[in-house]
Amino acid sequence: MDERGGSFVAVRRISQGLDRGNTCHSTSAEVVAGSAAWLGRGLSCVCAQRRESDPRPSFDLTPAQEECLQRLQLRIDVAYDSSIPEHREALRALWNAAFPDEELRDLISEQWKEMGWQGKDPSTDFRGGGFISLENLLYLARNFPKSFQDLLRKQEGDRSVWEYPFAVAGVNITFMLIQMLDLEAACFNFTVKPRTMVGATFLKFLSENESAFDLLYCITFKLMDHQWLAMRASYMDFNTVMKSTRRQLERELLLEDVTRLEDLPSYSLLSR
């Protein structure tokens, strides 16, 4: 991707699933370059924008909610840094979760394109979501391995010829959730009060489950893929699919009978 954030990769479907018995350059997928504004610095285009003059309510927090939110904000503020051993280990763990039968030759390798990264160095794609976007992918892989593999290998549904790249889509989802829950603004302005009903509702879940953001990420990824299939989308429809996913997720979070994230209708899409 260039410095303007105006390029992307799309994955062309040639056969169903990835044949990991072959080398990393199998004929199951083909990566091509193009131009659109839905990756990297163009991530904000998938999310609704607001005017500064829009009225926004403020919600008081309990001490427990404030503490949980501050810890989450600290996670969001961590950039991926390849000089930190724990970050490199997390990236290698992601590869092992995705392709347990194939050894990763190096952390900078053409092999990463098989997972849907834009180039041979995934760290360049974390600029939009930070280290938490890698943590989100790992959480999905470890807690819902079947869903992780289904999403990675595009194993469900009647797929498009040109599919969204799995890994970069994951970074998009992290970024979208940060915006939707107003966490980015909170982080930069050092304010701990949510300014939307969706954000306030999420904080109730966060205070009861510190992995709530990671779990909501997993739900959102599966919901996005479900919407993708229902809309019979192709890569140029990605922004539209993300906007639809966000609207559906906001509706579900505000349902009266939802008292935990596991009550969300879209939670049923996940498989362990």
Is residue 169 included in any domain, yes or no?
Answer: yes
Is residue 133 included in any domain, yes or no?
Answer: yes
Residue 164 Rama label (left phi>0; alpha psi -120 to 50; beta): beta
**What is the number of other CB atoms lying within 10 angstroms of the CB of residue 65?**
20
Is residue 29 included in any domain, yes or no?
Answer: no
pTM for the model stands at: 0.80
On average, the pLDDT of the chain sits at 81
Asked whether 128 and 85 are in contact (CB, 8 A), the reply is: no
Cα separation, 73 vs 178, whole angstroms: 10
Q: Which of 208, 210, 243, 245 is nearest to 225 (CA)?
A: 245
Domain with 134, as residue range(s), is 67-98+108-269
Is residue 45 included in any domain, yes or no?
Answer: no
Interval 63-89: pLDDT, tens: 888 889 889 999 999 999 999 999 999
Is residue 250 included in any domain, yes or no?
Answer: yes
CA atoms within 13 A on the CB side of 138: 16
In the predicted structure, residue 28 carries a pLDDT above the cut 50: no
Q: What is the pLDDT of residue 228?
A: 96
Q: Tell me the mean pLDDT in the region 248-260.
A: 96
Is the torsion defined by CA of 247, 122, 150, 32 positive or negative? positive
Is residue 20 included in any domain, yes or no?
Answer: no
Domain count, the chain: 1
3-class SS letters over 133-153: HHHHHHHHHHHCHHHHHHHHH
